[in-house]
Structure 1
Amino acid sequence: MSKNLVKNPEFSENSSEQDSTGELAEFISKFKTSIWLLGIPAWIYGIFDKSLAAYTDNYLSSVEFFHLLTTTLFFFSWLYLKPDIKNSQSQGNLCPMQTNKFALKKRHMISQEYILPFPYLCQIYHLLNLKHLETVHNFSLNNLKILNISHFQPTKIGGIIKFQTVLDSPANPLRIWRKPIVEVDLILHTPYTIELSIPVYNNKRIIVIFQILPLTDNEHQLFIDIYSDLNWPKPLLQILLHFASCLTLFEDLPYLRNLTETNVERLFKLSKFSNHASTLLFKRFVELYGINGNKTKLIEENH
């Protein structure tokens, strides 16, 4: 197990290079923006000065008019040349598997970790079974319903499933921001890393990264990291996300306890014969890793 947690030196060097490149790009972007902002009052002063000089003697000569017109045109051109301060890494997936640490750091909101007295396979089953969003989290998600599975794509060591959700309750506060129907992404990156990507509004998203570390046969550690590019005050967003994460975990506990008592290995075996759309990603996990520790060999082969 410890071998899976050792970082690849080549990957670390690449990450350091990406961090340095990202920091340099961010510095250049801020420098350009600062120069542009300083230029605005300078051009305004130039227009004011030329206007004042032209009308001091109550006569506007052709030369003065040309200088004023030229300065004004340069000012509007300067406004048009506003630097693009959007971070090119702000779009797309925020998962550590698909972007660099610099982009993640800016969008990281909260981290939580728990040691739970349940087999890690129970947590895997829970996170990859879409129905738990409607049943286990019926209260916290206020009657969110899954309409259909719009896309499923197996990958070499996992899979991606996209599904449409609707806010079934008219009193759901999420209706204030998001569309009635949105497409959510659930991604199995590795046997221990699962991503939930939730659209909010205007292409802004909340990304939840679950990482599971088996400790014993009946105990695992759960790491929850939440990222977002929402333009809300960060302290307020952090409070809301901490509360939401704690609430959903509180809802998980009875369900995980029942899974432990139900014999989760039997669920794994039955999933091989299931074609239910809500468990496609879980079935993919079973196909790749089963319940006999084949995951370790596969991860080492891919590193």
Structure 2
Amino acid sequence: MFKNLVENPEISENNEQQDSTVELTLFISKFKTTIWLLGIPTWIYGIVDQSLDTFADGYLSSLEFFHLLTTVLFFLSWLYLKPDIKDQQSQLNLCPMQSNKFALKKRHMISQEYILPFPYLCQIYHLLNLKHLETVHNFSLNNLKILNISHFQPTNIGGIIKFQTILDSPANPLRIWRKPIVEVDLILHTPYTIELSIPVYNKKRIIVIFQAFPLTDKEHQLFIDIYSDLNWPKPLLQILLHFASCLTLFEDLPYLRNLADTNIERLFKLSKFSNNASTLLFKRFVELYGTSGNTAKLIEGNH
């Protein structure tokens, strides 16, 4: 989940120094392994070359035998000096937080940043309304449908909702690798941070982190970070994710524009009395942050 992926914004300078130390350790370990691998064909070439020279005249002298034996012993010693991968891993395990951060960097695929001329609350309402996956993103998600809400859990500063989705279109390319029905997680971590966690196949996932920050009462800044542990070529996956992210944002714009023209505060008030399962997480946001006073504080606190 996101709490295991996203770095704490208050990481101290000491932790950054530890990061540098772990990076150096990894570099040295990889360098040792590379040198050892390059040494193997070099030693083999030396043994073959010396053997050909030794037996070229059909006579093996004691000195030539000693030189050949010494070369072979050095080669065997070189094989014995193979870097210990387990020992390298144990060095990383001494710094579990740094190891997690390396895993985070490895799984990070793309980042996008936008300043949008719409109120921050419009973006929050859009991101937390599950029905928008079926309506606003009907084209990009190729008729994805929500079957049911399987789990909802409020937290002190947000909440978690799990819902099952089905690929309704027989032509949906996602059918190639994902199950027909999967459970997706949507998490409100803070009033600014929302996570969408999507299973793909074999317990591999794509995790999208949205961070929306109010700039004024009529515009906000949106950050999109996507993480994945898919074993696909990273450049190819990055291109696909950039395209998908841009496409979904393009779909968002007309809806956000229309939403900005409505009375967003009225939506907040109505949500308090709504029992619609698809807006449970938005209702939780309203309970925690949705009054006019709290909304103003969010904007002030971001500056």
TM-score above 0.5, yes or no: yes
Which SS does the other structure have where 2:292 is aligned?
Answer: coil
Q: 1:69 aligns to what?
A: none
Q: 2:280 aligns to what?
A: 280
Distance 2:16 2:30 in 1: 21
Give how far 1:292 is off: 2.6
The answer to whether the aligner puts 1:229 opposite 2:229 as a matched pair is yes
Deviation larger for 153-162 or 115-124:
153-162
Amino acid at match of 1:218: K
- Which structure 1 residue ranges, 4+ long, deviate > 6 Å from structure 2? 31-41, 84-89, 295-298
Distance 1:106 1:31 in 2: 19
Distance 1:217 1:114 in 2: 16
Amino acid at match of 1:137: H
Contact 1:30 1:85 in 2 (8 A): no
Q: 1:186 aligns to what?
A: 186
Tell me: CA distance 1:236–1:148, structure 2 relative to 1, closer, same or farther (3 Å): same
Tell me: CA distance 1:18–1:124, structure 2 relative to 1, closer, same or farther (3 Å): farther
| Structure 1: stretches of 5+ with no match in the other structure | 1-6, 42-74, 90-98, 299-303
Distance 2:25 2:178 in 1: 32
Q: 2:257 aligns to what?
A: 257
Which SS does the other structure have where 2:273 is aligned?
Answer: coil
Q: Deviations over 1:61-111 (max 9, x none)?
A: xxxxxxxxxxxxxx9xx9xx985999999xxxxxxxxx63x3322222111
Contact 1:107 1:228 in 2 (8 A): yes
Q: 1:133 aligns to what?
A: 133
The answer to whether the aligner puts 1:196 opposite 2:196 as a matched pair is yes
Tell me: CA distance 1:238–1:36, structure 2 relative to 1, closer, same or farther (3 Å): same
Amino acid at match of 2:173: P
Q: 1:247 aligns to what?
A: 247
Identity score, percent: 86
Superposition TM-score, scaled by structure 1 size: 0.71
| Structure 2: stretches of 5+ with no match in the other structure | 1-6, 42-78, 94-99, 299-303
Q: Deviations over 1:170-207 (max 9, x none)?
A: 10001111111111111111111111111111111111
Give how far 1:295 is off: 6.7
Q: Deviations over 1:12-40 (max 9, x none)?
A: 34752663575477568758977997999
Distance 2:246 2:222 in 1: 12
Tell me: CA distance 1:86–1:162, structure 2 relative to 1, closer, same or farther (3 Å): farther
Distance 1:8 1:229 in 2: 21
Tell me: CA distance 1:216–1:168, structure 2 relative to 1, closer, same or farther (3 Å): same
Q: 1:166 aligns to what?
A: 166
Contact 1:36 1:83 in 2 (8 A): no
Distance 2:261 2:189 in 1: 28
Give how far 1:223 is off: 1.1
The answer to whether the aligner puts 1:122 opposite 2:115 as a matched pair is no
Contact 1:268 1:290 in 2 (8 A): yes
Q: 1:111 aligns to what?
A: 111
Q: Deviations over 1:264-296 (max 9, x none)?
A: 111111111112111111111111111334378
Give how far 1:149 is off: 1.2
Tell me: CA distance 1:296–1:35, structure 2 relative to 1, closer, same or farther (3 Å): farther
Contact 1:33 1:85 in 2 (8 A): no
Which SS does the other structure have where 1:197 is aligned?
Answer: strand
**Equivalences for residues 1-303 of structure 1 within 5 A:** 11-13=11-13, 15-16=15-16, 19-20=19-20, 23=23, 26=26, 30=30, 83=86, 100=101, 102-294=102-294
Distance 2:203 2:29 in 1: 23
Tell me: CA distance 1:187–1:258, structure 2 relative to 1, closer, same or farther (3 Å): same
Contact 1:214 1:220 in 2 (8 A): yes
Q: 1:54 aligns to what?
A: none
Which structure has the bigger radius of gyration? 2
Q: 2:48 aligns to what?
A: none
Amino acid at match of 1:246: C
Contact 1:191 1:295 in 2 (8 A): no
Contact 1:116 1:220 in 2 (8 A): yes
Contact 1:120 1:218 in 2 (8 A): yes
